[in-house]
Protein backbone atom coordinates (compact mmCIF):
# COMPACT_ATOMS: atom_id res chain seq x y z
CA UNK A 1 0.00 0.00 0.00
CA UNK A 2 3.04 2.23 0.12
CA UNK A 3 2.65 4.58 -2.87
CA UNK A 4 6.41 5.15 -3.08
CA UNK A 5 7.22 1.44 -3.28
CA UNK A 6 6.71 1.36 -7.06
CA UNK A 7 9.72 3.63 -7.61
CA UNK A 8 12.20 1.40 -5.83
CA UNK A 9 15.34 0.48 -7.75
CA UNK A 10 16.11 -3.21 -7.51
CA UNK A 11 19.33 -4.87 -8.54
CA UNK A 12 18.67 -7.70 -10.92
CA UNK A 13 22.26 -8.61 -11.69
CA UNK A 14 25.36 -7.36 -9.89
CA UNK A 15 28.47 -7.03 -12.02
CA UNK A 16 30.88 -5.87 -9.34
CA UNK A 17 31.99 -2.87 -7.31
CA UNK A 18 33.87 0.23 -8.40
CA UNK A 19 35.12 2.37 -5.53
CA UNK A 20 32.54 1.06 -3.11
CA UNK A 21 29.63 1.73 -5.48
CA UNK A 22 27.74 -1.25 -6.76
CA UNK A 23 27.57 -1.64 -10.52
CA UNK A 24 24.42 -3.56 -11.26
CA UNK A 25 21.82 -4.19 -13.89
CA UNK A 26 18.69 -2.71 -12.29
CA UNK A 27 15.00 -2.86 -13.08
CA UNK A 28 15.37 0.69 -14.42
CA UNK A 29 17.99 -0.46 -16.91
CA UNK A 30 15.78 -3.39 -17.86
CA UNK A 31 12.87 -1.10 -18.70
CA UNK A 32 15.17 1.19 -20.67
CA UNK A 33 16.24 -1.82 -22.74
CA UNK A 34 12.59 -2.79 -23.25
CA UNK A 35 11.83 0.74 -24.43
CA UNK A 36 14.79 0.57 -26.80
CA UNK A 37 13.52 -2.74 -28.19
CA UNK A 38 10.05 -1.24 -28.74
CA UNK A 39 11.49 1.80 -30.53
CA UNK A 40 13.74 -0.32 -32.73
CA UNK A 41 10.84 -2.62 -33.56
CA UNK A 42 8.71 0.38 -34.48
CA UNK A 43 11.22 2.38 -36.50
CA UNK A 44 13.24 -0.37 -38.15
CA UNK A 45 10.95 -3.37 -38.00
CA UNK A 46 7.84 -1.60 -39.22
CA UNK A 47 9.55 0.16 -42.10
CA UNK A 48 11.41 -2.79 -43.63
CA UNK A 49 8.54 -3.52 -46.00
CA UNK A 50 8.85 0.02 -47.45
CA UNK A 51 5.33 -0.13 -48.76
CA UNK A 52 4.20 2.84 -50.82
CA UNK A 53 0.86 2.62 -49.07
CA UNK A 54 1.97 2.14 -45.48
CA UNK A 55 0.48 -0.44 -43.17
CA UNK A 56 -0.60 0.42 -39.62
CA UNK A 57 2.79 0.20 -37.92
CA UNK A 58 4.64 1.79 -40.80
CA UNK A 59 2.27 4.73 -40.78
CA UNK A 60 2.79 5.16 -37.03
CA UNK A 61 6.54 5.25 -37.62
CA UNK A 62 6.13 7.73 -40.47
CA UNK A 63 3.78 9.90 -38.45
CA UNK A 64 6.19 10.10 -35.53
CA UNK A 65 8.97 11.05 -37.95
CA UNK A 66 6.89 13.77 -39.58
CA UNK A 67 5.61 15.06 -36.24
CA UNK A 68 9.10 15.62 -34.87
CA UNK A 69 10.46 16.90 -38.18
CA UNK A 70 7.67 19.50 -38.37
CA UNK A 71 8.17 20.54 -34.74
CA UNK A 72 11.91 20.91 -35.22
CA UNK A 73 11.61 22.72 -38.54
CA UNK A 74 9.05 25.18 -37.24
CA UNK A 75 10.95 26.10 -34.07
CA UNK A 76 14.63 25.81 -35.08
CA UNK A 77 14.44 26.26 -38.85
CA UNK A 78 15.72 23.93 -41.54
CA UNK A 79 19.24 24.40 -40.12
CA UNK A 80 18.01 22.69 -36.98
CA UNK A 81 17.32 19.52 -38.95
CA UNK A 82 20.92 18.38 -38.34
CA UNK A 83 19.80 17.81 -34.75
CA UNK A 84 16.87 15.67 -35.83
CA UNK A 85 18.43 12.39 -34.62
CA UNK A 86 18.89 13.87 -31.13
CA UNK A 87 15.39 15.30 -30.83
CA UNK A 88 13.75 12.22 -32.32
CA UNK A 89 15.67 9.88 -30.00
CA UNK A 90 14.78 11.97 -26.95
CA UNK A 91 11.10 12.16 -27.89
CA UNK A 92 10.73 8.47 -28.70
CA UNK A 93 12.66 7.36 -25.62
CA UNK A 94 10.64 9.51 -23.22
CA UNK A 95 7.33 8.70 -24.90
CA UNK A 96 7.86 4.94 -24.93
CA UNK A 97 9.27 4.88 -21.39
CA UNK A 98 6.29 6.92 -20.12
CA UNK A 99 3.78 4.70 -21.92
CA UNK A 100 5.39 1.48 -20.64
CA UNK A 101 5.27 2.93 -17.14
CA UNK A 102 1.49 3.20 -17.36
CA UNK A 103 1.06 -0.56 -17.72
CA UNK A 104 0.29 -1.97 -14.25
CA UNK A 105 3.20 -3.62 -12.40
CA UNK A 106 5.80 -1.92 -14.57
CA UNK A 107 8.51 0.53 -13.58
CA UNK A 108 8.55 4.15 -14.78
CA UNK A 109 12.09 5.09 -15.72
CA UNK A 110 11.34 8.84 -15.99
CA UNK A 111 10.06 9.01 -12.41
CA UNK A 112 13.69 9.22 -11.26
CA UNK A 113 15.22 12.68 -11.48
CA UNK A 114 18.67 11.30 -12.29
CA UNK A 115 17.32 10.08 -15.64
CA UNK A 116 15.53 13.31 -16.57
CA UNK A 117 18.42 15.44 -15.29
CA UNK A 118 20.88 13.46 -17.42
CA UNK A 119 18.73 14.01 -20.50
CA UNK A 120 18.29 17.72 -19.74
CA UNK A 121 22.01 18.19 -19.09
CA UNK A 122 22.80 16.41 -22.34
CA UNK A 123 20.67 18.96 -24.20
CA UNK A 124 22.13 21.85 -22.15
CA UNK A 125 25.73 20.77 -22.88
CA UNK A 126 25.03 20.32 -26.59
CA UNK A 127 23.44 23.79 -26.77
CA UNK A 128 26.47 25.42 -25.10
CA UNK A 129 29.07 23.43 -27.04
CA UNK A 130 27.39 23.93 -30.41
CA UNK A 131 26.64 27.57 -29.65
CA UNK A 132 30.29 28.36 -28.98
CA UNK A 133 31.53 26.20 -31.85
CA UNK A 134 29.18 27.80 -34.35
CA UNK A 135 29.13 31.43 -33.15
CA UNK A 136 32.26 31.83 -31.05
CA UNK A 137 32.00 34.67 -28.57
CA UNK A 138 28.95 35.99 -30.41
CA UNK A 139 27.06 33.35 -28.42
CA UNK A 140 27.30 35.66 -25.39
CA UNK A 141 24.87 37.99 -27.14
CA UNK A 142 22.24 35.61 -25.87
CA UNK A 143 22.73 37.22 -22.45
CA UNK A 144 22.78 40.82 -23.63
CA UNK A 145 19.54 41.96 -25.21
CA UNK A 146 19.99 44.98 -27.47
CA UNK A 147 18.55 48.37 -26.56
CA UNK A 148 19.28 48.22 -22.84
CA UNK A 149 20.82 51.27 -21.09
CA UNK A 150 24.46 50.71 -20.07
CA UNK A 151 23.70 51.28 -16.38
CA UNK A 152 21.22 48.42 -16.31
CA UNK A 153 23.45 46.07 -18.32
CA UNK A 154 25.21 44.22 -15.42
CA UNK A 155 21.91 43.53 -13.69
CA UNK A 156 20.20 42.38 -16.88
CA UNK A 157 23.12 40.11 -17.80
CA UNK A 158 23.04 38.56 -14.33
CA UNK A 159 19.33 37.90 -14.62
CA UNK A 160 19.68 36.53 -18.16
CA UNK A 161 22.46 34.18 -17.06
CA UNK A 162 20.31 32.89 -14.20
CA UNK A 163 17.40 32.48 -16.56
CA UNK A 164 19.70 30.47 -18.82
CA UNK A 165 20.97 28.34 -15.93
CA UNK A 166 17.44 27.56 -14.82
CA UNK A 167 16.73 25.83 -18.14
CA UNK A 168 18.12 22.35 -17.40
CA UNK A 169 16.49 22.50 -13.97
CA UNK A 170 12.99 23.25 -15.22
CA UNK A 171 13.54 20.95 -18.21
CA UNK A 172 14.27 17.96 -15.96
CA UNK A 173 11.99 18.86 -13.03
CA UNK A 174 8.89 19.12 -15.21
CA UNK A 175 9.12 15.61 -16.65
CA UNK A 176 10.21 14.03 -13.36
CA UNK A 177 7.58 15.77 -11.21
CA UNK A 178 4.73 15.03 -13.59
CA UNK A 179 5.51 11.33 -13.85
CA UNK A 180 6.14 10.95 -10.11
CA UNK A 181 3.01 12.85 -9.07
CA UNK A 182 0.82 11.06 -11.60
CA UNK A 183 1.87 7.61 -10.47
CA UNK A 184 1.54 8.46 -6.78
CA UNK A 185 -1.96 9.87 -7.40
CA UNK A 186 -2.99 6.68 -9.17
CA UNK A 187 -1.64 4.52 -6.36
CA UNK A 188 -3.27 6.58 -3.60
CA UNK A 189 -6.72 6.55 -5.24
CA UNK A 190 -6.39 2.84 -5.94
CA UNK A 191 -5.50 2.36 -2.27
CA UNK A 192 -8.75 4.11 -1.25
CA UNK A 193 -10.75 1.44 -3.08
CA UNK A 194 -9.44 -1.43 -0.98
CA UNK A 195 -9.56 0.64 2.22
CA UNK A 196 -13.23 1.48 1.68
CA UNK A 197 -13.89 -2.13 0.67
CA UNK A 198 -12.96 -3.21 4.21
CA UNK A 199 -16.21 -1.61 5.48
CA UNK A 200 -18.42 -4.17 3.76
CA UNK A 201 -21.19 -3.56 1.21
CA UNK A 202 -21.60 0.19 1.71
CA UNK A 203 -17.85 0.52 1.67
CA UNK A 204 -17.70 -1.10 -1.77
CA UNK A 205 -20.52 1.20 -2.89
CA UNK A 206 -18.54 4.21 -1.72
CA UNK A 207 -15.45 2.81 -3.38
CA UNK A 208 -17.10 3.48 -6.75
CA UNK A 209 -16.08 7.13 -6.40
CA UNK A 210 -12.31 6.55 -6.13
CA UNK A 211 -12.64 3.83 -8.78
CA UNK A 212 -14.14 6.33 -11.22
CA UNK A 213 -11.33 8.73 -10.30
CA UNK A 214 -8.68 6.08 -10.98
CA UNK A 215 -10.16 5.47 -14.44
CA UNK A 216 -10.24 9.19 -15.16
CA UNK A 217 -6.72 9.79 -13.83
CA UNK A 218 -5.40 6.87 -15.90
CA UNK A 219 -6.81 8.47 -19.03
CA UNK A 220 -5.29 11.79 -17.99
CA UNK A 221 -1.94 10.11 -17.37
CA UNK A 222 -1.85 8.79 -20.94
CA UNK A 223 -2.31 12.36 -22.14
CA UNK A 224 0.37 13.61 -19.73
CA UNK A 225 2.77 10.86 -20.82
CA UNK A 226 2.52 12.03 -24.42
CA UNK A 227 2.49 15.74 -23.59
CA UNK A 228 5.58 15.55 -21.39
CA UNK A 229 7.53 13.83 -24.16
CA UNK A 230 6.28 16.52 -26.55
CA UNK A 231 7.19 19.35 -24.16
CA UNK A 232 10.66 17.90 -23.66
CA UNK A 233 11.17 17.65 -27.43
CA UNK A 234 9.82 21.12 -28.20
CA UNK A 235 11.94 22.73 -25.48
CA UNK A 236 14.98 20.94 -26.87
CA UNK A 237 14.13 22.51 -30.25
CA UNK A 238 13.75 25.98 -28.72
CA UNK A 239 17.06 25.73 -26.86
CA UNK A 240 18.82 24.44 -29.97
CA UNK A 241 17.39 27.39 -31.87
CA UNK A 242 19.18 29.69 -29.43
CA UNK A 243 22.46 27.92 -30.15
CA UNK A 244 21.94 28.09 -33.92
CA UNK A 245 20.81 31.73 -34.10
CA UNK A 246 21.72 33.64 -30.91
CA UNK A 247 20.79 37.27 -30.55
CA UNK A 248 19.69 38.04 -34.08
Partner 1 sequence: MADKKQADDARDRKDRDQPSAEEAALSARLRDLGKQLGRHHSDGPSDSEPGQRPTTDASAMARGFRLSTELVAGVLVGAGIGWLLDRWLGTTPLGMLVFLLLGFVAGVLNVMRVAGVVRTNTLDPPDKRQ
Cα 247 from Cα 147, distance rounded (Å)? 12
Verify binding: residue 36, partner 1, rule CB under 8 A.
no
Question: Do the beta carbons of residue 139 and residue 64 sit within 8 Å?
Answer: no
- Give CB contacts under 8 A, 24+ apart, made by 23-30: 27/107, 28/107, 28/109, 28/112, 28/115, 30/107
Report the residue number, 109 or 243, with the smaller CB distance to partner 1: 243
Verify binding: residue 247, partner 1, rule CB under 8 A.
yes
Q: Which of 7, 36, 38, 160 binds partner 1 (CB under 8 A)?
A: 160
Report the residue number, 51 or 144, with the smaller CB distance to partner 1: 144
* Backbone Cα Rg of the chain: 22
User: 53-92: which residues touch partner 1 (CB under 8 A)?
Assistant: 74, 77-79
Report the residue number, 158 or 209, with the smaller CB distance to partner 1: 158
Verify binding: residue 116, partner 1, rule CB under 8 A.
no
How far is residue 43 from each of residues 57, 159, 222, measured CA to CA in Å? 9, 42, 21
Span from 37-45, 49-57, 188-196, 231-239 in contact with partner 1 (CB under 8 A): 231-239
Verify binding: residue 163, partner 1, rule CB under 8 A.
yes
Verify binding: residue 135, partner 1, rule CB under 8 A.
no
The three-state secondary structure class of 102 is: coil
Amino acid sequence: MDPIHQFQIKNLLTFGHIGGAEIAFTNSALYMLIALAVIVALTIGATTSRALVPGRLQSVAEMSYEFIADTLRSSAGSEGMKFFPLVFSLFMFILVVNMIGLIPYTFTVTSHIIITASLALLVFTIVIAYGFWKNGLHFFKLFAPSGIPIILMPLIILIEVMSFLSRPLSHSLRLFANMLAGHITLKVFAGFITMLGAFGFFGWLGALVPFALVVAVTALEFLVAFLQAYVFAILTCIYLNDAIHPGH
